[in-house]
Amino acid sequence: MKPGDDGLRAFFVDYGRAFEAYDDAGIAACYVTPCLFVRDGKTVAAPSPEAVIESVRRLLDLHRAWDVQKAKVSKVTVLEQEPEHTLARVDWRLGRPKSRMSWRYATTYTLVPDPEHGWRIAVAITHDAPF
C-alpha cells in the first residue's frame, strides 16, 4: 500500500468504528509494539500488546465518562511520506447520535506499513483533547 492513498483514510475510519464499538482489542490491533502515546503532556511507552490494551482501556474509560458514541474522521492530512513510515494528522469529531453536541480534537500519528493490516500506529500524539 502506498502512503497517501485512500487506504490511510479507510484505516482511520475503521479505527474510529472500533472506538464507537468500545472494542479495546480491535483498537489495540491497530498498533505496533513497542509504541508511544503522548496525551495531556504525558508520554507513555507501550512495550507490549498488553500495555497497549491497558492504555486503550484508560482512554475508553474517558470516552464512557463523556458518553462518546461517535468517533468520526473529519480530515486526514498527510504531513510526510516515506517508504518506511507516514506521518499524518487526523482531525476527529466525537459526539452522540442525534445530538448537536460534539468535541473536536486532532491527533498526529506515525504509521508504518503492515502487509496484513495496511497500516499500524507506532506513535500517537493527541492535541487539544476535550477530556
Ranges in the chain, pLDDT < 70? 1-6, 129-131
List C-alpha distances in Å: 44 to 18, 51, 53.
Answer: 21, 10, 13
**66 in any annotated domain:** yes
Provide the domain count of the chain. 1
Instruction: Give the per-residue pLDDT at 20.
Output: 94
**29 in any annotated domain:** yes
Q: Give residue 100's domain range.
A: 6-127
**1 in any annotated domain:** no
Instruction: Give the per-residue pLDDT at 4.
Output: 45
Instruction: Give the per-residue pLDDT at 41.
Output: 85
Instruction: Give the per-residue pLDDT at 23.
Output: 97
Q: Compute how many other C-beta atoms are within 10 angstroms of the C-beta atom of residue 84.
A: 7
**114 in any annotated domain:** yes
Instruction: Give the per-residue pLDDT at 11.
Output: 95
pTM above 0.75, yes or no: yes
**17 in any annotated domain:** yes
**15 in any annotated domain:** yes
CA distance 124 to 89: 10
CATH number for the domain spanning 45: value is 3.10.450.50
**Nearest Cα to 31, choosing from 130, 109, 126?**
109
Instruction: Give the per-residue pLDDT at 57.
Output: 96
**21 in any annotated domain:** yes
**48 in any annotated domain:** yes
Q: Which residue has the cell 503532556?
A: 41
